[in-house]
Structure 1
């Protein structure tokens, strides 16, 4: 009997104990926190950088939990598959705005930006271009890097070649590369440069600097651009570099754009973004410098290409208001400052590079100064059909570099095929 009374009393106490211990239900208004899922291609250090940003955001927004999903391999396939299945995460890192905006994969953030009176003028112009497509805004800029020329001081010293300086010309670049080449083979070989056939992204900066372009501003026409005199001149110059570069000696450079060969001293010059800087700085045996890319003629100016990405929202996101709050935070000054302090990339905010003292860093300073010269976004952002059209340009370049095809003729043929693709419905 006593046992039965005891059980009844305990059952009566359970609701009371629940109220006493359930302060959290009062703190959240009785609502469960919303979990926002965010897709990223970053892994390792790239994900680690986001952890304090997420923690700070969650502290300020106790009703939202952020869960990062890292997909370092097959990222684009993951995005496309999730969209096709209608079951997407809430947010994603994005790089190819024109394709994914045109396909309806990503959400136009303009209504959210207008509703919250979010300041888009705080961003530098070219990184902001990455988010824009046909009048819509499909993300907030993350960070960016232009491309610069790395030079291995050990290799230069061994060859007795002076270090390059800003303002050097295309011809001086070739002369420098030739001076470094020792015309040997095997383990004793030294090459001036890594030239990659079909590397459109790197070539477009040289083409812009020479007054050319690869398509019309609206991305619908290649003829008159990709086969222009300005482009032919750049390809002729690059062909001379290619014929004496490491690309004729080893295919490994194709896979890493020469990063390993540069670090090991096989190559004296390498064109790249700022990603290898932290690794190279940790290598005590490597003495390297960074300089702006060459200009076509003395007194000319560079027109650099940049790499960037955006913090974006899936069009089929389940928690749009909540993921927008996170995008505003990580894509705003609070998040951008963390990435910049870690030297992960250049900040996309006006004045932040100076504010954080990045101009006092010998390497970041060069990249920042190159970035200041950028006025154009990459060609692929102009049209969702660019990558298909670019296949024809790459095939023409491979014929030129590998088979010694006539440059003008190969580019004329490519232009016709590219027009058909860019203008197709």
Structure 2
């Protein structure tokens, strides 16, 4: 008996040292072990626009596919109403006792400052991965103080949509490759003159008069419209480089009357193009998928790069979203696996489906899905290399300021533009002070 006992002790010790355990799915006594289900909750903004609905539907689809592929994991898409903005809605949600693990939404400096988003770089390094497959400009913009706060997704650079028929009718060469704002406006004048329609108001171009375009113009001239801290526009929005750039735009708009002002580069641009009111329009990639629903019109539309100042550099203030892991998540490892398997995996079903509506940020996926070979989408992809952070990414409060552009739009000279920009800068600065 003593010998048997000794052998038993040695065997038990050997098993312990070897790290052996009971077979998976069993407990002592032969009872099946309860499988612990991991629950991942992804927060994203609710909304009624086609873009938001498509994004929600796609992530919900991928959540179900992931649950099927990875047993024991449940993925929930939680849609947040955001009447006062997405960041406040996220802040309020994170105060609750309910868990949350991932966040899909626009780059938001407020959430970043509050430390709500985890740094992904240590996770890349732990798995011996790099960010090389992501476009460098986007990775740089999503990195704040040395921390990668999310995987950049759905970038929205500006580019020029143009109607090929309008160019042919006016006898103007279609734009290709690098060009300047002077060339853009000269083309707009000729397009308007060569495409008049009795009883219909037409323009050579449509231009979004917003902070995204202003920042692109300013950075092309080597100057931002806002201070580095993001808290002041006076001395920046009305600086000489910005005034000269905006003055050039206004001169061509008001002297030739060939360009129409719209409030943004989104749905309004699609409306102007689909109604064939303009020969060119500066807009975001979202319009491309909308135009795709009209094959007859789509065949007439080309895309050219965003122009730059004649003596300036290419600059494109682009918005983008991120898929981030929340700092307070208790399932960071499972959340990171979801990001790797779905968002970063260039072969995932997600890339193909997401690429039907959005620009992909994985170089390999853009190549495999054909985005890099598409004549129009390849232009938008090329614009990513000139990407810069929009002014609102320096200060989230800028997204909610009220801007009165009537005086600026009516400016007939550089002096008048300077006075209007100075007034606008002072008004915005006061609003920023009031929001503190």
The TM tier, using the shorter chain, reads 0.7 to 0.9
Structure 1: how far apart are the matches of 2:397 and 2:377? 34
Hey, which of these two has a bigger chunk of helix by percent? 1
19, 23, 43: which is aligned to 1:39?
Answer: 43
Structure 1: how far apart are the matches of 2:263 and 2:308? 28
Matched, 1:164 2:175: yes
Matched, 1:410 2:420: yes
Matched, 1:400 2:412: no
Secondary structure at the counterpart of residue 292 of structure 2: helix
Deviation of 1:266 after TM superposition, in Å, equals 0.9
Pairwise mapping of residues 87-126 of structure 1 onto structure 2 (< 5 A)?
Answer: 87=98, 89-109=100-120, 112-113=123-124, 115-126=126-137
Pairwise mapping of residues 7-406 of structure 1 onto structure 2 (< 5 A)?
Answer: 29-41=33-45, 43-50=52-59, 53-70=62-79, 74=83, 76=86, 78-85=89-96, 87=98, 89-109=100-120, 112-113=123-124, 115-181=126-192, 188-197=200-209, 199-219=210-230, 222-243=233-254, 244=257, 247=260, 256-286=267-297, 287-297=300-310, 301-317=313-329, 319-334=331-346, 338-339=350-351, 342-374=355-387, 376-387=388-399, 391=401, 394-395=403-404, 397-402=405-410, 406=416
Structure 2: state its 5+ residue gaps. 1-24, 46-50
Structure 2: how far apart are the matches of 1:304 and 1:209? 8
- Spell out, residue by residue over 1:169-211, the C-alpha distance to the aligned partner (whole angstroms, 9 max, x if none): 22221122222335979952211222333x1112222222222
Deviation of 1:400 after TM superposition, in Å, equals 1.0
Residues 275 and 27 (structure 1 numbering): CA distance in 2 closer, same or farther, change over 3 Å?
A: farther
- Spell out, residue by residue over 1:290-330, the C-alpha distance to the aligned partner (whole angstroms, 9 max, x if none): 111222228x6422232321101334445444333323333
> Mean Cα displacement is larger for which, 204-213 or 350-359?
350-359
Structure 2: how far apart are the matches of 1:227 and 1:317? 44
Structure 2: how far apart are the matches of 1:296 and 1:151? 20
1:6 corresponding residue in structure 2: none
The size of the alignment, in residue pairs, is 394
Structure 2: how far apart are the matches of 1:254 and 1:204? 14
TM-score, scaled relative to structure 1: 0.77
TM-score, scaled relative to structure 2: 0.75
Structure 1: how far apart are the matches of 2:32 and 2:336? 20
Structure 2: how far apart are the matches of 1:232 and 1:323? 47
CA contact (8 A) 1:166 1:294 kept: no
Secondary structure at the counterpart of residue 31 of structure 1: coil
- Spell out, residue by residue over 1:97-123, the C-alpha distance to the aligned partner (whole angstroms, 9 max, x if none): 311112444344455455545533442
Structure 1: how far apart are the matches of 2:58 and 2:220? 35
Structure 2: how far apart are the matches of 1:261 and 1:73? 29
Structure 1: state its 5+ residue gaps. 1-22
Structure 2: how far apart are the matches of 1:71 and 1:339? 24
Deviation of 1:143 after TM superposition, in Å, equals 3.8
Residues 80 and 51 (structure 1 numbering): CA distance in 2 closer, same or farther, change over 3 Å?
A: closer
